[in-house]
Amino acid sequence: MNYNYIDNNGRPAPSSIVWGGRRIANPSEAQLLAAGYRRREAQASAPIDDTQARIDALKAELQATDYIALKAIEGYDCDALYPEWKARRRALRNEINELESEA
């Protein structure tokens, strides 16, 4: 699909079109325009907040290790299975708290 061109309903142009009675794979810009597709307008995006992005990434990593904490609660020897898991989770929480206090 060509995501730079859309039809009147906002759907992206397919990777091949029927134009002039024949199927054309990977149509050119001129062929897409002639077939009724239009160039997608650039969308202004909000500026990315690096601090919030970092906090989100840290929280995602913390959430990805939640199952280890649950195993530990259930009585599994997680220290043997996952060495350093407690220290890593503590470091993640500390960094999250530090970044959130600065924001």
* 36 φ/ψ angles, rounded to the nearest 5 degrees: 100, 5
The β-bridge partners of 2 are 13
pTM of this structure: 0.51
Give the pLDDT confidence of 18-69 residue by residue, as tens digits. 767 778 787 777 777 777 777 777 655 555 578 888 999 999 999 988 988 9
Contacts of 61 (CB under 8 A, 6+ apart): 92
Instruction: Report whether pLDDT(14) > 70.
Output: yes
Which is higher by pLDDT, 42 or 73?
73
